[in-house]
Structure 1
Amino acid sequence: MDFETAFRKVIALEGGFRLHENATEGDVTYAGIYRKAHPSWEGWDYIDKGATPPTELVRSFYKTHYWDVFEGIDEDKRYILYEFAVNAGIKKATKIAQVVAGTVPDGIIGPKTIAAVNRMDTELFIAQYTIARIKHYLDLANSDPKRYAIYLRGWLNRTMEALT
């Protein structure tokens, strides 16, 4: 899958180009970009002035911060990593991939991780990665139900939707 297709799919999973407040996080998200995590994103200047950030600014953010990080990983595997990284962060997405691929889970995408992920059968990697991702969400919701339980159904739905 190329970046443009992956970007369109993730924007749909993120609810489109809209601004919303996070129920338990105390800040806002625009097109899946969480202000608290990315306070220096240029799009906030537009939003603070009551304007809509250009689509290209959002696209560029996703490509630089999430897609390019997984350069060298086979296409379908790269999409699954990219999509989860947008939701849970690059380090978490990478660590889960490393566990699935049998490498040291240090959260850093390097040549050993890329090679190990690419050696795996694509369908097997995606199935095992999906199971590990679901476990991550369940563990998170169980660790702090007041904060995270409200997100669990959406996380699980997103996980399954990302497979289509």
Structure 2
Amino acid sequence: MADFSTAYRIVHGNEGGYAKILGDKGGETYMGIARNSHPNWTGWRIIDAVKATRHMYWNEYIDNAELKQMVVNFYRATWNQMLGDGIRSQPVANLYYDFYTNSGGATTVLQRVLVYQFRQKITVDGAPGPQTLAAINAVDGASLHNALKAARIAYVQDLVRRDPSMGQFLDTWLRRIRQFPDQEKKSSVSSSPSVASRLGSSISNMLRGKLRNPFSNSPDETATA
């Protein structure tokens, strides 16, 4: 089964320290934790105490053991929400976890991939649960990883299309996604066309307006920088 520490190291490397970027819908952030999305996170108490005494710099890390543990606890709770311990494929868990911590629509996109590309009979409700977990583990991990990666790219591109002000973050989002290497499928399924290739073709048509994009963003599905 997937390991939290492995996935967390990737997310930790992608998230900086303190930031307050104009145009970021997440608002003030610390190590990827957005204040607008998580206003009641206990770590803000320590951060606000530091801000009361001096200016905080961009990407600054606060050397405070309690705060560091609060960050780890936050990300462990997030991992638990998406049932990460139950995912068999570590690459799938790594990609899904990074998506889940960075974007509000991660589970919806994953469920749509499972339904539209892998014919899994689950409800697309945006909520991780036993049925979604079973569907994740029922399909080839490499194929699912590659399909989810392609769908995540389509998701952020669609987000910028809908809200051009978010375009300032697109290159960063794409670099973050593309750090996950494509996975090779098992030889037993390699004779069939790549799911990722077929998905990429479909997404290309969707983004040109030829098909409805099942990976587009609903109003509550937004990414944070």
TM-score by length of 1: 0.89
1:43/1:57 contact within 8 Å kept: yes
SS at match of 1:115: helix
Give the match for residue 128 of structure 1: 147
1:2/1:75 contact within 8 Å kept: no
Letter in 1 for 2:135: A
Which of 143, 158, 176 in structure 2 is aligned with 1:139? 158
Give the match for residue 22 of structure 1: 21
Give the match for residue 78 of structure 1: 93
SS at match of 1:85: helix
Q: CA deviation at 1:75?
A: 4.0
1:70/1:78 contact within 8 Å kept: no
Q: Relative to structure 2, which stretch is displaced further, 99-108 or 121-130?
A: 99-108
Q: Relative to structure 2, which stretch is displaced further, 125-134 or 78-87?
A: 78-87
Q: CA deviation at 1:124?
A: 0.2
Give the match for residue 112 of structure 2: 99
Give the match for residue 5 of structure 2: 4
CA distance in 2: counterparts of 1:70 and 1:144, whole angstroms = 27
Give the match for residue 159 of structure 1: 177
Root mean square deviation, CA, Å: 1.7
Give the match for residue 74 of structure 2: 61
CA distance in 2: counterparts of 1:73 and 1:2, whole angstroms = 9
TM-score by length of 2: 0.66
SS at match of 1:78: helix
CA distance in 1: counterparts of 2:128 and 2:18, whole angstroms = 31
SS at match of 1:55: helix
Percent identity over the alignment is 34
Change (3 A) 1:44 1:130: same
Letter in 2 for 1:110: G
**Unmatched runs of 5 consecutive residues or more in structure 2:** 52-61, 116-121, 183-225
Question: Which structure has the bigger radius of gyration?
Answer: 2
CA distance in 2: counterparts of 1:25 and 1:137, whole angstroms = 14
Letter in 2 for 1:34: A
Give the match for residue 113 of structure 1: 132
Query: Which structure would you say has the larger RCO, counting Cα contacts within 8 Å and 6 or more residues apart?
Result: 2
CA distance in 1: counterparts of 2:81 and 2:137, whole angstroms = 15
SS at match of 2:124: coil
Q: CA deviation at 1:56?
A: 1.0
SS at match of 2:29: strand
SS at match of 2:50: coil
